[in-house]
Amino acid sequence: MRIDIITVQPPLLESPLGHSIIRRAQEKGLAQIVIHNLRDYAINKHGQVDDYQFGGGAGMVLMCEPIATLMDKLLAERTYDEVIYTAPDGEIFDQPMANSLSLKKNLIILCGHYKGIDERIREYYITKEISIGNFVLTGGELPAAIISDCIIRLLPGVLGNEESALFDSFQDNLLAPPAYTRPSDFRGMKVPEVLLSGNFRLIEEWRMEQAIEKTNQKRPEMNSGEN
């Protein structure tokens, strides 16, 4: 998979996408993340990529020309399955969407900034708009990093245990059950006996019961069909 990320703040993406599992996925050749600095396509020598919005009002808007120039270049080089824009008014990102996107081959993620991008870019280039929640950030770089991380960890071969991603929270519309490790007795708090029993059928039954109970307590809307 290849993910091209367009941003005016590349340093915000370098750390979260350059370490741990995501770094190893790139080193293995399982994923490629290419970060493009929009200012390299600025309209003048001052690096301008934004301007005041027509009609007045506070805040700057990312201009058409720099984005269009870069988009045209990328789209001429390869076919992209989705051109994503990170925006507060986009579709809320969730695990099923991550599962779907992980099956794609090439993605572009355009990071919003300031008051957003010129609406004509959204109409002409964008195929999918994504929000990570009902709140506003200073830019779309953190959402782009979250989306990329969530997608890449689902790719075959990325995680050490292939089954690990299949049993994450939300994959089966349930939260993950409690997990324990050594010691079996910590300050008088003991690991449930069933987990030490070696009876894997009982362990799986216990985990399912705990997942259902935890979901009903913390996220009951997940079992009601709401999102």
Write the pLDDT tens digit of every residue in 144-194: 999 999 999 999 999 875 545 555 555 678 888 999 999 999 999 999 999
Give CA torsion, residues 2, 76, 65, 117, to 10 deg.
Answer: -40
Q: Quote the pLDDT of residue 73.
A: 98
- By the 10 Å C-beta count (0-12 exposed, 13-18 middle, 19+ buried), 146 is classed as middle
- 43 in a domain, yes or no? yes
- Which value, in Å, is the radius of gyration of the alpha carbons in the chain? 21
Same domain, 141 and 72: yes
Q: Quote the pLDDT of residue 171.
A: 64
Domains held by the chain: number: 2
Q: Which domain holds residue 185?
A: 169-222
Percent of the chain's residues with pLDDT above 90:
83
The pTM assigned to this predicted structure is 0.87
The residue from 101, 120, 152 where one domain ends is: 152
Same domain, 145 and 35: yes
Residues of the chain with pLDDT under 50: 163, 225-227
Same domain, 44 and 96: yes
- 227 in a domain, yes or no? no
Same domain, 144 and 36: yes
d(CA 180, CA 162): 20
Same domain, 136 and 183: no
